[in-house]
Amino acid sequence: MLVIGLTGSIGMGKTTTAAMFRAEGVKVHDSDATVHELYLGPAAEAVERAFPGTVRDGCVDRGLLAERVLDDPQALRRLEAIIHPLVAASREAFLAEAARSGERLVVVDVPLLFETGLDRSVDVVVLVSAPEAVQKERVARRAGMTEDKLSAILAQQMPDAEKRKRSHFVIDTGRGFAAAERQVHAILRSLAGAG
């Protein structure tokens, strides 16, 4: 089974691109969605112990949690020590089930693929990218996003130029999502028979 690592910085169009792989019948494990699910309950108790006052009605309040960890590298490491192993367990279960069911190719969607070293555990890396101006325009439309918050997020991520050098394929969403869809098809065609 061929494992594609799909990655990209905030605002690059990675979630939309993952949906394009799904539309082609490729199973996708979404790390961000897994974190959202964990915050809805399974990880709430551990997060509340580490960051008191960040859980409301049994669910992690992402805004409150972000305020506590975004500009505090030690706090962010504490949070990652709670969440990353749970996401890894979910991803491993996904891969085991995909192998059992005979999938030829799957995608693991991991925003911090390079930063966490997970690029070494996949067969192919696909980067979703866009020009910086497009990225900033997309991110500016997000509720609660500020330039300072974006800067803090980007400071935790490897620069896009470096990710481009390390990736097997780059999907440029800056040319529109129809063009990105054609790039997804081209990647799948080039990987046909691999795995």
Per residue in 42-94, pLDDT (tens digit) is 999 999 999 999 999 999 999 899 889 988 889 999 999 999 999 999 999 99
DSSP state of 104: S
Residue linked to tokens 């439309």: 141
Angle CA(64)–CA(35)–CA(161) in degrees, nearest 5? 95
Average pLDDT over residues 127-142: 89
Q: At what angle do helices 73-100 and 31-39 cross, to 10 degrees?
A: 110
- Which CATH number characterizes residue 45's domain? 3.40.50.300
Count CB neighbours of 40 within 10 A: 12
Average pLDDT over residues 128-148: 85
Confidence (pTM)? 0.89
- Given pLDDT bands bounded at 50, 70 and 90, which one contains residue 195? low
Parent domain of 106: 2-191
Strand partners, 29: 108
- Given pLDDT bands bounded at 50, 70 and 90, which one contains residue 139? confident
User: Given this model, what pLDDT does residue 136 score?
Assistant: 85
Rounded Cα distance, 123 and 195, in Å: 9
Rounded Cα distance, 37 and 39, in Å: 5
User: Given this model, what pLDDT does residue 194 score?
Assistant: 60
Per residue in 142-157, pLDDT (tens digit) is 877 777 777 877 777 8
Spell out the long-range contacts of 30-39 with Cβ–Cβ below 8 A and sequence spacing 24 or more. 30/109, 31/87, 31/91, 31/108, 31/109, 31/110, 31/111, 32/109, 32/111, 34/86, 34/87, 34/90, 34/91, 35/83, 35/87, 38/83, 38/86, 38/87, 39/65
User: Given this model, what pLDDT does residue 143 score?
Assistant: 79
Per residue in 98-129, pLDDT (tens digit) is 999 999 999 999 999 999 899 999 999 999 99
Contact between 180 and 172 (Cβ < 8 Å) = yes
Using alpha carbons, select from 82, 97, 96 the residue that is nearest to residue 38: 82
User: Given this model, what pLDDT does residue 152 score?
Assistant: 77
Rounded Cα distance, 5 and 188, in Å: 13
- The larger pLDDT score, comparing residue 35 to residue 10, is at 35
Question: How many domains does the chain fold into?
Answer: 1
